Amino acid sequence: MAKAKRSSSESQPVAETPGSGAVPEGRSRAVIDALLPEVDAGRFPAKRIAGEPVRIEAHCLTDGHDRLRVVMQWQAVDSAELHELDMVPLPNDVWGCEFTPPVPGRYRCTVTAWVDHFESWRHALERRQELADILIALRVGAELAEQAATRAGGEDAAVLNRWAAQMRAAAADGDPIGPDGLKAVALEPARIAIATRYPDRTFAVSRSLELVADRKKAQFSSWYEMFPRSAAAQPGRHGTFRDVEARLPYVAEMGFDVLYLPPIHPIGIVHRKGKNNALAALPDDVGSPWAIGSADGGHKDIHRELGSLEGFRSLTHKAQQLGIEIALDIAFQCAPDHPYVKAHPQWFKHRPDGTIQYAENPPKKYQDIYPFDFESADWRALWTELKSVFDFWIDQGVKIFRVDNPHTKSFAFWEWTITEINRVHPDVIFLAEAFTRPKVMHRLAKAGFTQSYTYFTWRISKRDLTEYFTELTSGPGRDYYRPNVWPNTPDILHEALQLGLRPVFALRLVLAATLSANYGIYGPAFELMESRPREPGSEEYLDSEKYQLRHWDLTRADSLRYLIARLNRIRNDNPPLQADHSLRFCPIDNEALIAYLKTDSSGAAILTIVNLDPYKEQSGWVELDLSALQLNEAQPYQVHDLLGEQRFIWRGRHNYVMLDPARTPAHVFKVRRLIRKEPDFDYYG
């Protein structure tokens, strides 16, 4: 496709697009019906990854038989430098092109379309046969060349004017060189190329969209959540940042690149919750980290028993040396003794008796936290202060934030805050922890959250998993909603995990790690298969770390740490598992088995098959689309199980699989094509 780089000063006047609110230019005949990837008619930016090609498509058309010219200009929103690409016509009035945003940031793409009278003339002249028509066409061409010369300059203008004179002379001479000779004068490729560089855009129409290009970790990350206060080597001792540093090699060996810490701030004393969410706390109860703030400080301070700010900086530095980023939990709520409550009582809702309203989600009550009032008359100051919390921790080196319950705060606040932060720090990642209604979760993603929690935790059956992940990867949210899936969290112990069966934990782990490029586990509860609910029917853990210290035996022989490490190594080594857009489910004739493919632009393919039955061996025939995999129906191919290091030779579309959950719940196959066939050995790659 043709490419040109233009400065903003070179762009030509563009007529107002009809429907823009201005009086339309009635002579603008080009129409831009759609622009993709556009989110809510351009209200929100689509999301992409810096350094990877972005496909832009536009539905452009005009009346009659004239030809269109369509270009796409892109620029970083804070840059004056403008780049222009010609868009290529595709079937059904679709035009396309690709560009690669070089660095993280916000970009604007503007598609401009106009009736190209020069190209319309050239196309019609190529098909003309009668001499009289050709002679007239040469005169028209001469006028168009002269007009192009006025938009050009220097030698290009001179060439165009000479060409116009030649066409006029040829038209005046008539027949001596014949129809083909006359057309050759007019259709000389080098001169046409020059004229094409100086189009008449007087009646052009334009349509723009914005997109956010994030760094790679926004698309591909493996999260491990742990409570620092439970990291101590000795039972009963409160953990510190130094204890977390000692735990870093363990996290790194499992292959995680994000270590997520619940709030590390001072914990309130007033209305502190006791063990298992008891309303009355005992003197030695440590409280919930999400009840933020005390006389020791608030959201910009550190719980004294964890250590100091210098200790936190040391932790982040040592984590980085192991390829791990620290993610912090940001929970915008306050314990009753948080300094904000006394200094800014106007930021909170008050009951008729003058007391501040604590958080509720009936029948649940959270007496130990006060929510902010986003309808406060002092909302501007509130917004500024809350944003400054992110700014403070960014200054300490934190670039990833998991945001607690963002759906209970103002959408407008999030859109403003995230936009302002990413304008200065485009590499900062925000994960929305919002288990709520689908449209609310999607609105948060549109407002700017980089990643989003999902309903994966509650999607257990083959049908539910297939429908849900097809929606996530193929529905309208694919342009802005990046799923981050978790089989467990400190708040959620799903009833399937309460069975305590190793195969259940293993299969849920494989599903999370292979269905989604972003996934996480709450550990060590997950790898040690913690399965005790607080009471029957509850998804709360018994003796939850949210309310007390826990001591974990990381050396247990039955730990899933080695399976986790294997899966994360597979993810890191295989690009198809590092994105979600290619996910496709494969037919398999057993409802207890689920099969799905992920591919990449190089043709690499990963086929995952999981036994959803933790009790019994299951078998079935899986069907593959060989053409999509670029496989020859007549040739064998190899599937290499990266989990079990077994290799199988398959043939054709249908092949047999059998999985015994007592041995392994899944195959993660790398599909290898036949490269070379020799008498004693076949090579697959």
The arithmetic mean of pLDDT across residues 624-651, rounded, is 94
CA 640 to chain CA centroid, Å, is 29
Among candidate residues 360, 381, 480, the one with its CA nearest the CA of residue 432: 480
pLDDT reading at 682 higher than 80: no
Q: How far apart are CA 497 and CA 499, in angstroms?
A: 5
pLDDT reading at 1 higher than 50: no
Same domain (yes/no): 404, 499: yes
**Does residue 312 lie in a domain region?**
no
Same domain (yes/no): 415, 523: yes
Q: Which residues pair with 641 in a beta bridge?
A: 646, 669
CB 70 within 8 A of CB 87: yes
Average pLDDT for the chain: 94
pLDDT of residue 547: 97
CB 311 within 8 A of CB 318: no
pLDDT of residue 18: 47
Same domain (yes/no): 100, 202: yes
**Does residue 516 lie in a domain region?**
yes
Tens digits of per-residue pLDDT, 229-251? Answer: 999 999 999 999 999 999 999 99
The arithmetic mean of pLDDT across residues 429-449, rounded, is 98
The arithmetic mean of pLDDT across residues 218-225, rounded, is 98
Q: How far apart are CA 588 and CA 139, in angstroms?
A: 67
Tens digits of per-residue pLDDT, 551-576? Answer: 999 999 999 999 999 999 999 999 99
User: H helices within 40-176, ranges in order?
Assistant: 117-127, 131-151, 154-173
Burial state string for 626-659 with b = 16 or more CB within 10 A and e = fewer than 16? eeeeebeeeebbbbbbbbeeeeeebeeeebebeb
The arithmetic mean of pLDDT across residues 26-35, rounded, is 95
Same domain (yes/no): 33, 172: yes
Tens digits of per-residue pLDDT, 158-180? Answer: 999 999 999 999 888 766 677 88
The arithmetic mean of pLDDT across residues 631-638, rounded, is 92
Among candidate residues 194, 199, 201, the one with its CA nearest the CA of residue 156: 194
Tens digits of per-residue pLDDT, 636-647? Answer: 999 999 999 999
Same domain (yes/no): 540, 599: no
| Side chain identity at residue 481, one-letter code | Y
Same domain (yes/no): 351, 457: yes
Give the sign of the dihedral formed by CA 4, CA 10, CA 16, CA 20: positive
**In the listed set 528, 548, 568, which residue is the last one of a domain according to the structure?**
548
Phi, psi of 381 (to 5 degrees): -65, -35
The arithmetic mean of pLDDT across residues 568-592, rounded, is 98
- List of residues 6+ apart from 381 with CB closer than 8 A: 344, 347
**Does residue 35 lie in a domain region?**
yes
**Does residue 579 lie in a domain region?**
no
CB 418 within 8 A of CB 447: yes
Same domain (yes/no): 419, 541: yes
| Side chain identity at residue 125, one-letter code | L
pLDDT reading at 495 higher than 90: yes
Q: Which domain holds residue 500?
A: 261-307+328-548
Q: How far apart are CA 603 and CA 413, in angstroms?
A: 42
Same domain (yes/no): 512, 635: no
pLDDT of residue 177: 72
Task: For the chain, report the end-to-end CA distance as a whole number of angstroms.
Answer: 32
pLDDT range class, residue 681, cuts 50, 70, 90? low
pLDDT of residue 441: 98
**Does residue 413 lie in a domain region?**
yes
Same domain (yes/no): 676, 621: yes
pLDDT reading at 8 higher than 70: no
Q: Which residues pair with 651 in a beta bridge?
A: none
8, two tokens: 């903003």
- Which percentage of the chain shows pLDDT scores above 90? 88
95, two tokens: 């035009």
- Within 13 Å and on the Cβ side, how many CA atoms surround 579? 18
Total-model pTM: 0.93
pLDDT of residue 250: 98
**Does residue 223 lie in a domain region?**
no
Query: Counting beta carbons within 10 angstroms of the beta carbon of residue 348, is it exposed (0 to 12), middle (13 to 18) or buried (19 or more)?
Result: buried
Q: Are strands 593-599 and 605-611 parallel, antiparallel or unpaired?
A: antiparallel
The number of distinct structural domains making up the chain is 3
Q: Which residues pair with 205 in a beta bridge?
A: 113
Same domain (yes/no): 495, 643: no
**Does residue 462 lie in a domain region?**
yes
Q: Which residues are catalytic?
A: 404, 433
Tokens 């990963």 belong to residue:
606
- List of residues 6+ apart from 627 with CB closer than 8 A: none
Length, in residues, of the chain: 685
Same domain (yes/no): 194, 141: yes
Same domain (yes/no): 202, 278: no
Question: CATH number of the domain that 468 lies in?
Answer: 3.20.20.80
102, two tokens: 């070089």
Tens digits of per-residue pLDDT, 339-381? Answer: 999 999 999 999 999 999 998 888 878 899 999 999 999 999 9
Q: Are strands 682-684 and 674-677 parallel, antiparallel or unpaired?
A: antiparallel
Rounded alpha-carbon distances, angstroms, from residue 650 to 239, 627, 636, 641, 681: 52, 15, 6, 13, 16
